[in-house]
Amino acid sequence: MKGVLYISILLLTAIDCFSQTAIVDSVHPLLKGKLDGDKIRENYDHFEVATPTRKPTGKYTPVILSMFHSKNLYTKTALNLKETLKALDAFKFTPEKGKGYASMGDFPFSIAVPLFDSVPVIITAYGIDSQNMEQYRFRVLENKRKEILGWTKVRFFSPVFMHFRYNIDGSEQKQMAYLGQFNAPVNNSITVEVKNLLIPDTIYRIAATWIKRAPSVIATFSTTAFKNFVEVYKYQWKHDFSKPNTSTYYGDIGLKPVDSLLSVKNVFNYDENNLFLYLKDKVKSVELVEYNLIKDKDSQGWQPNTFDPNVIFLQKLSPGNYKLLLRYAFQRQTVDEYSFTIKHAWYQTWWFKLTAGLVSLLALFSIALLLKNRRQQARLKKQQIEQQLTQAEIKSIKSQFNPHFVFNALTSIQGLVTKNDMEAAHKYLNDFSMLLRNSLNQSEKELISLSEDIELIRNYLKLEQLRFGFEYEIDVDDTIDRHAIEVPVLLLQPVIENAVKHGIAKSYKNGRLFISYKAINDDLLITVEDNGDGFNAEAKNGLGLKLTAERVDLLNGILKTGRISWETKRQDNNTQVIFIFKNWLL
Rounded CA separation 403/436 (Å): 11
**Is the same domain home to 131 and 235?**
no
For the segment 391-402, the average pLDDT, to the nearest whole number, is 53
Asked if residue 565 and residue 492 are part of one domain, the reply reads yes
DSSP 104: B
206 with 238, same domain: the answer is no
CATH number for 491: 3.30.565.10
Confidence of residue 18 (pLDDT cuts 50, 70, 90): very low
DSSP 413-443: HHHHHHTT-HHHHHHHHHHHHHHHHHHHHHT
Q: Do residue 51 and residue 180 come from a single domain? A: yes
Non-local (6+) Cβ contacts of 1 within 8 A are: none
The SS3 assignment for 79 reads coil
Q: Say if residues 192 and 123 touch (Cβ distance below 8 Å).
A: yes
pLDDT per position as a tens digit, 485-526: 999 888 898 889 888 888 898 888 899 999 999 999 999 999
- Alpha-carbon distance 405 to 499, whole Å? 14
Last residue of a domain, one of 290, 323, 348: 348
* pLDDT at residue 366, as a whole number: 81
Instruction: For residues 257 and 271, state if they share a domain.
Output: yes
d(CA 294, CA 503): 75
Confidence of residue 224 (pLDDT cuts 50, 70, 90): confident
Instruction: Tell me if 31 sits within 8 A of 158, measured CB to CB.
Output: yes
> Is residue 401 pLDDT above 80, yes or no?
no
Residues 6+ apart with CB under 8 A from 446: 391, 394, 488, 489
Q: What is the pLDDT of residue 502?
A: 84
In the predicted structure, residue 3 carries a pLDDT above the cut 90: no
3 state SS of 338: strand
Q: Do 181 and 243 fall within a single domain?
A: no
Chain segment 418-471, per-residue pLDDT in tens: 878 787 777 778 777 777 777 666 666 778 899 999 988 988 888 788 778 899
Q: Are 274 and 365 in a shared domain?
A: no
Burial of 419 (0-12, 13-18, 19+ CB in 10 A): exposed
Among 172, 192, 173, CA closest to 182: 192
DSSP string, 180-197: EEE---TTEEEEEEEEET
| DSSP state string for 243-284 | -TT--BTTB-------GGG----SEE-TT--SEEEEESSEES
Please tell me which residue, 389 or 136, carries the higher pLDDT value.
136
| Distances 501 to 397, 433, 580 between C-alpha atoms, Å | 21, 20, 24
438 and 377 within one domain: yes
Question: 556 near 563, Cβ under 8 Å?
Answer: yes
Task: State the Cα torsion 340-344-345-349 to the nearest 10°.
Answer: -160
Give CA–CA dist 554/568, Å, rounded.
Answer: 20
CA atoms within 13 A on the CB side of 126: 27
Tell me which of 315, 331, 348 is where a domain ends: 348
Reported in sequence order, the residue ranges of 160-240 that DSSP labels E, i.e. its strands, are 175-182, 188-196, 199-210, 217-222
**Reported confidence tier of residue 250, pLDDT bands at 50, 70, 90:** very low
Q: Hey, is 73 helix, strand or coil?
A: strand
d(CA 215, CA 77): 14
pLDDT in tens, 177-199: 999 999 999 999 999 999 999 98
Return the H-helix or E-strand segment holding 149.
Answer: strand 146-153
340 shares a domain with 417: no
501 and 363: one domain? yes
Does the pLDDT at position 297 exceed 50?
yes
pLDDT of residue 541: 60
- Residue-level pLDDT at 54: 62
DSSP state of 502: I
* 280 and 189 within one domain: no
Q: What is the CATH number of the domain that holds 222?
A: 2.60.40.1220
Number of domains the chain is built from: 3
Q: Between 450-468 and 422-442, two packed helices, what is the crossing angle to 10 degrees? A: 160
Domain assignment of residue 91, given as a range: 2-210
What is the C-alpha to C-alpha distance for residues 184 and 213, in angstroms, rounded to an integer? 15
Domain finish residue from 313, 330, 348: 348
Residue 260 CB-half CA count within 13 A: 3
Q: Give the integer Cα–Cα distance in Å for 296 and 135.
A: 66
Q: Rounded to whole angstroms, how far apart are CA atoms 325 and 323? A: 6
Hey, which residues does 524 pair with through a beta bridge?
A: 519, 581
- 328 and 368 in a single domain? The answer is no
Smallest CA-to-CA distance from 161 within 73, 53, 61 is with 53
